Structure 1
Amino acid sequence: GFTIAMWGGGSQAIFNNMLAVDNFALFFKLLFLAIAALVILASVDYVSKFARFQGEYYALVLLSTLGMMLMAATAELIAIYVALELTSISLYILAGFLKDPKSTEASLKYLLLGAVASAVLLYGMALVFGFTGETHLGEIARTIQAMPPQALLASPALILGIVLLVAGFGFKIAAVPFHMWVPDVYEGAPTPITAYLSVGSKAAGFAIILRVFYSAFGLPEWLSLDWGLIFAVLSAIGMTLGNVVAISQTNIKRMLGYSSIAQAGYLMVGLATVGLSPAADILGRSGLLFFLASYALTNLGAFIAIIAISGKLNSDLIAHYSGMGKRAPLLALALTLCLISLIGLPPAAGFMAKFYIFSGAVHHGLLWLVIIAVINSVIS
């Protein structure tokens, strides 16, 4: 209620300009709160598997939600890193909460690869700080804008810093080639946490990418072209790999894991639109935000249906879902509708989101990327 009351109140900075209170941050705060509420509701029966640690489970979900909300609002590199680690450490623990071999393996793999990604991200931040002498995103933007292009091009430190930031944030959104953790972690983690990872962590990653890259690196235009092209290439590779590999999966959680990788590719079409054409700010960002909201709700809906179905079948194998239309017609219908939206068939919200984001990309010269995205939508 407090977040809704602040909507439309204008943009302001708090805590010595470390946090921004604007509609962008408020949108993501509302989204994260809705995601956390749905995950907690979906966990009510599932937490019986955790015996004495149910309180800790809910506390970690709320702690990671707090980290995500801070990620969307922070405007300073050190605060970004702290918020990201607050989220990540909570999720590392939650991934291993079942304490069986698969869950433990998922947690350990997520921890090790996440630690590497955090180190890469921190090194990228250090390079940006070393080049600009600033950690605040607004000051970084002003420093870069004041420098002549020749001075910027003479040193590769800034470009390398941007590439390392892309790699670090790419892990959080499950972008190729930083996706290696996704299938095993999604399969081994408790199903409500898999749902939480697939939407909450991804939305937080995109929020911080938009905040950092648009605020700090949106100007001058030549620099924007560099990071926009990076996201365009990662988008094409990610959606193709995710959809092709998902076809051969036998476990529904692994299948949705690869689908999540493909969805990250579709979402990066919006990032590429903003990056390659700074004039596309409104169209690119609004399309991306609408896509994120529709993806979060439909993917959560799919996982909630899977939690209920798996409780009846005691299995996550796709082959065991045969005949669900007769055994549990309402659950089967709910899962089907959510999958239709994830695929992007009309008139579902997923179709409208893809149409919106692809239209912006075509309008700003990314026809080749949209053609690849449409082909992948057909494959999915």
Structure 2
Amino acid sequence: MNIVTYQPSMLLAILPECLLVLLAAMILVADLVFPRDQRSAFGWLTACGFILVALMAVLFSRPGETPEFIFGGMLRHDWASFTFRLIFLLGASVTALFASDEPTDRRFGEFYFLMVIATLGMSLMASSANLIMLFLAIETTSLPLYILAGFRILDQKSVEAGIKYMLYGAMTSAVMLYGFSLLWGFTGTASLYEIARQFQVMDRASLLLGGAVLLVLVGFGFKISAVPFHFWAPDVYEGAPTPVAGFLSTASKAAGFAVLVRVLLAVFPAATPFWAVVVGLLAAGSMLVGNILAMSQRNIKRLLAYSSIAQAGYILVGLAAHSPLGTAGTVYYLASYLVTNLAAFGIVWLVGREVGSDDLDAYAGLGKRNPTVALAMLIALLSLGGIPPLSGFFGKLLVFGAAVQAGVQGESWLIALAFVGVLTSVVGLYYYLNVMKTLYRPGVDEHSLRVSSAWRVALLVCVAGMLFLGTIFTPMFQLAVAATGGWF
């Protein structure tokens, strides 16, 4: 009989997850204590809680040089999970501040409770080393996000967004779960790393691997809104509360990529030539479709939704390169994209609240009404376009550079993929510049926008992150390189 003993190091490895459970409980208690007119207090409590969890993770939960399997191999404590955990906590804390003035029909506690549970699920997704644990973590993340997308129950668009997100998510989860069941049936184990070892000694492994890869990619492609699994994103982003849309487009997408990279590298190393081509096709389709359809959008949230699809394509370029530089570029790009897109959606939320419209024309005159807010939006759009010295430039440089490097070493199709990425980046600059032009175009209303202290702090963190990652390159890149080693 095997008796599992819990070492102190094992408990420290999951300390952030334990603290997130405690934070969720504190929010429910605070919902009974705080006055109903103290809406911003929940935002500050949740954001400070996330920051405290991140600090405790840095102090006590840093992994060692050798990856460690804990809880019977269900979780893997390594630099990849540690890095993504910090990314999720940063994104959740900023979102909590942006949402502090979000009208939620006075259900503030439930709103932030669901956000904490979703963040807990993302953290477990990045750490999962077992198919069962992975699926439970994905559902722990997905179910709260379905509810958050439709949280404005008096808004028809929000309810529609929640229903669409749930239906599409359930369908793709079913396909992904079927792929998981095939992996377990082929190998007799649910451990990701044991599955890889089993496939290396099996006959006709290529056929089995190819089918399993395609089924698993359906679920992960939905999570990262890659073409052709992107169709839900524009409608859900438009209808969901704007802070939730920003959270979906950044932290949730990062969680999808964390799982996608781990599964492809850990479970399917024998099928790398096959899945690299499939990922390359997904990248090319996402870059082309996302950028082309974004050009005709007049609703700013739908424009950012198609931009998010295109950004997923750029990130997939680094994964398609299947090299240490490519995976490090993927991590770096995700960190850059997190602070950039959260800033953009935060400003969209502010303008939508004040003006009552998400139409592009609502941004006319913003440069005169609030020069600081307009400048922050300008910086975010330039970063999304990959203009130096902002963080988006280094993200694109790393993933495209990895593709070119792999192409020079023999896989010439990756050079063509990088070329497509550069061309579509130029296309993306067109609609980003169109928004920038609107910001400084004369507008009808010249009254200044009301900005809360929580919103101001969140935007400052995002802008500082874009400038920091774009000028001080080394610290985040070293963390990304360490995360790359943790996947293998």
TM-score scaled by length of structure 1: 0.94
Write the deviation string for residues 347-367 of structure 1: whole angstroms up to 9, x where unpaired. 211011101111111010110
Distance (Å, rounded) in 1 between the aligned partners of 2:416 and 2:118? 37
1:62 to 116, 134, 151: 116
Deviation at 1:297, TM superposition (A): 0.7
Report the residue type matching 1:96 in the other structure. Answer: G
Secondary structure at the counterpart of residue 76 of structure 2:
strand
Report the residue type matching 1:186 in the other structure. Answer: Y
Report the residue type matching 1:24 in the other structure. Answer: A
Write the deviation string for residues 263-291 of structure 1: whole angstroms up to 9, x where unpaired. 000000011011xxxxx2x2111111000
Structure 1 position 213 matched with structure 2 position 268: no
Distance (Å, rounded) in 1 between the aligned partners of 2:371 and 2:314? 31
Structure 1 position 306 matched with structure 2 position 344: no
1:155-174 alignment runs, 5 A limit: 156-174=207-225
Do the aligned residues in 2 keep the contact of 1:309 with 1:331 (CA within 8 Å)?
no
2:287 match: 239
1:179 match: 230
Do the aligned residues in 2 keep the contact of 1:236 with 1:373 (CA within 8 Å)?
yes
1:369 to 417, 436, 445: 417
Distance (Å, rounded) in 2 between the aligned partners of 1:39 and 1:157? 41
Distance (Å, rounded) in 1 between the aligned partners of 2:62 and 2:248? 27
2:129 to 68, 75, 79: 75
1:315 match: 357
1:43 match: 99
Larger radius of gyration, structure 1 or 2? Answer: 2
Structure 1 position 108 matched with structure 2 position 163: yes
1:287 match: 329
Distance (Å, rounded) in 1 between the aligned partners of 2:312 and 2:100? 29
Deviation at 1:134, TM superposition (A): 1.6
Do the aligned residues in 2 keep the contact of 1:176 with 1:238 (CA within 8 Å)?
yes
Secondary structure at the counterpart of residue 106 of structure 2:
helix
2:251 match: 200
1:152 to 199, 202, 205: 205
Distance (Å, rounded) in 1 between the aligned partners of 2:69 and 2:145? 28
Distance (Å, rounded) in 2 between the aligned partners of 1:331 and 1:312? 13
Deviation at 1:8, TM superposition (A): 4.7
Do the aligned residues in 2 keep the contact of 1:238 with 1:261 (CA within 8 Å)?
yes
Distance (Å, rounded) in 2 between the aligned partners of 1:211 and 1:2? 25
Distance (Å, rounded) in 1 between the aligned partners of 2:327 and 2:149? 31
1:349 match: 391
Moved more, 347-356 or 307-316: 307-316
Count of residue pairs the alignment pairs up: 365
Structure 1 position 2 matched with structure 2 position 56: yes
Deviation at 1:310, TM superposition (A): 2.0
2:68 match: 12
Do the aligned residues in 1 keep the contact of 2:293 with 2:306 (CA within 8 Å)?
yes
Write the deviation string for residues 294-327 of structure 1: whole angstroms up to 9, x where unpaired. 0011111111122222222121110111111111
Structure 1 position 260 matched with structure 2 position 315: no
Do the aligned residues in 2 keep the contact of 1:64 with 1:91 (CA within 8 Å)?
yes
Report the residue type matching 1:352 in the other structure. Answer: F
Deviation at 1:51, TM superposition (A): 2.6
Unpaired stretches in structure 1, ≥5 consecutive residues: 275-279
Write the deviation string for residues 67-112 of structure 1: whole angstroms up to 9, x where unpaired. 0000000000111110001111000000001111100110111111
Distance (Å, rounded) in 1 between the aligned partners of 2:71 and 2:350? 43
Report the residue type matching 1:239 in the other structure. Answer: M
1:332 to 367, 374, 381: 374
Percent of aligned pairs with the same residue?
A: 47
Do the aligned residues in 2 keep the contact of 1:306 with 1:335 (CA within 8 Å)?
no
Deviation at 1:338, TM superposition (A): 0.4
1:270 match: 318
2:5 match: none
Do the aligned residues in 2 keep the contact of 1:176 with 1:237 (CA within 8 Å)?
yes
Distance (Å, rounded) in 2 between the aligned partners of 1:346 and 1:295? 14
State the Cα RMSD in Å: 1.0
Do the aligned residues in 1 keep the contact of 2:351 with 2:362 (CA within 8 Å)?
no
1:277 match: none
Distance (Å, rounded) in 2 between the aligned partners of 1:289 and 1:377? 19
Report the residue type matching 2:273 in the other structure. Answer: L
Distance (Å, rounded) in 1 between the aligned partners of 2:125 and 2:397? 28
Distance (Å, rounded) in 2 between the aligned partners of 1:371 and 1:253? 28
Write the deviation string for residues 11-52 of structure 1: whole angstroms up to 9, x where unpaired. 211111110111110000000001110000111111xx2133
